[in-house]
Amino acid sequence: MSRLIVVSNRVNPPTGAGEESVGGLAMALAAALRQYSGLWFGWSGKTTPSFTGVLDVQTIDGVTAAVIDLEEADVEEYYNGYANKTLWPLFHYRTDLTAYDRAYGAGYQRVNKRFAETLAPLIEPDDLIWVHDYHLIPLARELRALGIKNRIGFFLHVPWPAHQVFTTLPGHSRLAEAMFDYDVVGFQTAEYCQAFEEYVLSEASGEQPRPGQLQAFGRTLSVGAYPIGIDAPDFARMVKSPRARRMRNVMDACTVFRHLIVGVDRLDYSKGLEERFAGFERYLADNPDMRREVLMLQIAPVSRESVEAYQEIRGRLDGLSGRINGEFADIDWAPFRYVNRNYRRDELAGIYRAARVGLVTPLRDGMNLVAKEYVAAQDPDDPGVLILSRFAGAARQLDEALLVNPNSPEEIADALGRALTMGKPERIRRWRALFDNVEREDVTAWRDSFVDALAGVGTRRAALAG
């Protein structure tokens, strides 16, 4: 029977509702794999003095994971370097933060080759291979070079930038060509898919024989939008859990007679935290009579701490949060709570549920699962309001949220004013439309539609499910 092999940079299957510190990608992949007899391959997160390619295989919570350690230089050049200092900022339109360093590019190619050489012996002829995210774009090319003929798909979790931005990358053509060693390439939204098509047609002399197909570099590729979702049934269960209820009670006790506004993000410059803080500050300045009526809680666990840009933004956010409380707090009250730690997922569910406003304002975001989690956690009879950046992929589906330009503190402040005074009938009407989408286009729908496309539309799906 065919298997599904999922490949991503990090392999960290969550161990259940209590798991802390798991990114959106890990949550989604674990949920996707649990229902397939398959394998999850990638980096352990550990380093070794010299690369051995020795696999550590474990089964955690129904997911078989096979991981390898990388050398220090790999981590520096491939992970911290090309992935997090070159491609991440570039794909999020931060050309000002994008580092162009040949050693990073070489490390990126080397690690992709190492992944391919370690993975290739594990691949059986009928396996479907599903590669994830910008860390591993050249993986299919490396696997093909080793003679792997299986169907290989690629899903990009982050935006594909406009071609004027993508072409600022030295070696962009090589990276784009590597996409054509896949059979199917999926993007979060139609907009990113179009940006890729536009690049291929205008920069790579490509052709589009029919919608959803691209020809270039002598090969043909299927492309499409496959918006990722959350594990909606699992999240619904979690919202009702004792820990979620306890956390909700804790938050209610902190906000007696006040409305809670919540933001939950990895501490990353793409998430628009500085502008969001400024938006809240503006709201307080413009609405003196509301100052005692609101509490904003921003949860932002630190990430990628070895990258300077992340250290810098952390310092700026510490300063801003201090300034807001310094300016507006009184002896018995402070408007802003800023915490840098991880929470259990069931605790997060309780926090979302207690919040009258979910404030999700990334400057750019492939999708943004926090927006969907916030919607899934609401009380149907008295739901909160989602304020969402128009530059999050999620805005394409969640258009009944209050959509804002995340670069504008004024727009954020206005949206806060609207959300905090919105009557119950409008809140319920908007939430219902949002929830229908979150429930319908969940992680299972995402996985099935991509795997169907990869397997050749439904023909082999029955054989895959295990």
Q: Exactly one of 157, 231, 414, 442 is catalytic; name it.
A: 157
Closest CB to ligand ADQ among 367 and 453? 367
Q: Catalytic: 135? A: no
DSSP letters, 370-401, are HHHHHHHTS-TTS--EEEEETTBGGGGT-TTS
Least distance in Å: CB of 450 to ligand ADQ? 12
Q: Which of the residues 153 through 192 are near ligand ADQ (CB under 6 A)?
A: 157-158
Q: Exactly one of 69, 74, 133, 365 is catalytic; name it.
A: 365
Q: Which stretch binds ligand ADQ (CB under 6 A): 4-12, 22-30, 326-334, 405-413?
A: 22-30
Least distance in Å: CB of 213 to ligand ADQ? 24
431: left (phi over 0), alpha (psi -120 to 50) or beta: alpha
What is the distance between the alpha carbons of residues 81 and 415, in angstroms, rounded to a whole number? 37
Task: Answer for the pair 128, 450: CB distance below 8 angstroms, yes or no.
Answer: no
C-alpha torsion sign, points 334, 336, 340, 341:
positive
Out of 93, 100, 310, 343, the residue judged to bind ligand ADQ by CB under 6 A: 343
**How far lies 106's CA from each of 100, 133, 332, in Å?**
11, 18, 56
Task: Decide if residue 234 touches ligand ADQ (CB under 6 A).
Answer: no
Dmax over CA atoms of the chain, in Å, equals: 70
Q: Which residue is nearest to ligand ADQ (CB)?
A: 24
Radius of gyration in angstroms for the set of CA atoms belonging to the chain, rounded to a whole number? 22
Out of 228, 232, 238, 376, the residue judged to bind ligand ADQ by CB under 6 A: 228
Task: Decide if residue 25 touches ligand ADQ (CB under 6 A).
Answer: yes
Out of 80, 222, 325, 342, the residue judged to bind ligand ADQ by CB under 6 A: 342
433: helix, strand or coil = helix
Amino acid code (one letter) for 354 = A
Amino acid code (one letter) for 441 = E
Q: Catalytic: 157? A: yes
Closest CB to ligand ADQ among 264 and 309? 264
Task: Decide if residue 212 touches ligand ADQ (CB under 6 A).
Answer: no
Task: Decide if residue 241 touches ligand ADQ (CB under 6 A).
Answer: no
Out of 11, 17, 27, 376, the residue judged to bind ligand ADQ by CB under 6 A: 27
Out of 90, 348, 402, 454, the residue judged to bind ligand ADQ by CB under 6 A: 348
Q: Which stretch binds ligand ADQ (CB under 6 A): 35-43, 194-202, 329-337, 341-349?
A: 341-349
Among residues 338, 266, 373, 307, the alpha carbon closest in space to that of 23 is found at: 266
What is the distance between the alpha carbons of residues 42 and 45, in angstroms, rounded to a whole number? 9
Q: Which stretch binds ligand ADQ (CB under 6 A): 21-29, 51-59, 64-72, 399-407?
A: 21-29
Task: Decide if residue 45 touches ligand ADQ (CB under 6 A).
Answer: no
**How far lies 176's CA from each of 156, 188, 198, in Å?**
13, 17, 12
- For the purposes of burial, counting CB atoms within 10 Å of the CB of 22, is it exposed (0-12), middle (13-18) or buried (19 or more)? middle
Interface map 441-460 toward ligand ADQ (x if CB under 6 A):
--------------------
Closest CB to ligand ADQ among 123 and 262? 262
Q: Element (H or E) spanning 289, and its range?
A: none
Task: Decide if residue 28 touches ligand ADQ (CB under 6 A).
Answer: yes
Beta bridge partners of 154: 131, 185
Least distance in Å: CB of 372 to ligand ADQ? 8
Burial 306-322 (b: 16+ CB within 10 A, else e): ebebbeebbeebeebbe
Least distance in Å: CB of 395 to ligand ADQ? 11
Which ranges of 35-101 does DSSP label H, i.e. alpha helix?
Answer: 72-74, 88-91
* Residue 51, number of CB atoms within 10 A of its CB: 18
Q: Which of the residues 250 through 309 are near ligand ADQ (CB under 6 A)?
A: 264, 266, 299, 301
Closest CB to ligand ADQ among 19 and 400? 19
Out of 12, 368, 389, 397, the residue judged to bind ligand ADQ by CB under 6 A: 368
Task: Decide if residue 369 touches ligand ADQ (CB under 6 A).
Answer: yes
Q: How many residues bind ligand ADQ (CB under 6 A)?
A: 24
| Residues in touch with ligand ADQ (CB under 6 A) | 20-21, 23-25, 27-28, 157-158, 228, 264, 266, 299, 301, 342-343, 348, 365-370, 373
Positions annotated as catalytic residues are 157, 365
